[in-house]
Copies of this chain bind each other. A is one copy, B any other.
Amino acid sequence: MGLLDSFNFLSQKIMQHILVLGAGLSSSYLINYFIKHAPAYNWHITVADASLETAQQKINHSEYATALQLDATNEIAIGKLVQSSDIVVSLLPPTLHVLIAKQCIALGKHLVTASYITDGMKALHEEALHAGVLLLNECGLDPGIDHLSAKKIIDDIHAKGGEIISFKSHCGGLVAPEYDDNPWNYKFTWNPRNVVLSGQATAKFLNEGKLKYIIPQHIFEQTEPVTITHYGEFESYANRDSLSYIEPYNLTKATTVFRGTLRKKGYCQTWNLLVKLGLTDDTFTVANIHTMRALLHALVPGNNVDELEQRVCAFLNITATSNEFEKLKWLGLFENSQLENAEATPAQLLQQLLQVKWKLQKSELDMIVMKHEFVYELNHSAHYLTSELVVKGENEILTAMAKTVGLPMAIATKLILQNTIATRGVAMPLHTEFYEPMLAELAEHGIQFSENTTLLPQ
Q: What residues make up the interface of A, taking CB atoms closer than 8 Å to B?
A: 201-202, 204, 207-208, 210-213, 215, 217-218, 222, 276, 278, 281, 283-284, 286-289, 297-299, 301, 303, 346
Contacts and interface: CB of A to CB of B under 8 A. Distances in A.
A301 B221 CA distance: 10
B283 A202 contact: yes
Given A222-B301, A284-B202, A278 B215 contact: yes
Contact of A288 (B211, B215, B283): B211
B298 A212 contact: yes
A283 B212 contact: no
A217 to B, nearest CB: 5
Nearest to A280: B215
A132 B406 CA distance: 66
B211 A281 contact: no
Nearest to A277: B215
B211 A303 contact: no
A208 B204 CA distance: 42
A299 B215 contact: yes
Contact of A213 (B210, B211, B212, B286): B286
A300 B232 CA distance: 29
17 contacts: A201-B283, A201-B284, A202-B278, A202-B284, A204-B284, A210-B303, A211-B286, A211-B289, A213-B278, A213-B286, A213-B298, A213-B346, A215-B278, A215-B281, A215-B299, A218-B276, A218-B278
A298 B211 contact: yes
Contacts of A202: 278, 281, 283-284
Given A211-B288, A212-B298, A218-B278, 4 more contacts: A210-B297, A211-B289, A217-B217, A217-B276
A207 B302 CA distance: 9
A303 B208 contact: yes
Contacts of A222: 301
Contacts of A289: 211
Most B-side CB within 10 Å, residue of A207, A215, A218, A297:
A215
Contacts of A286: 211, 213
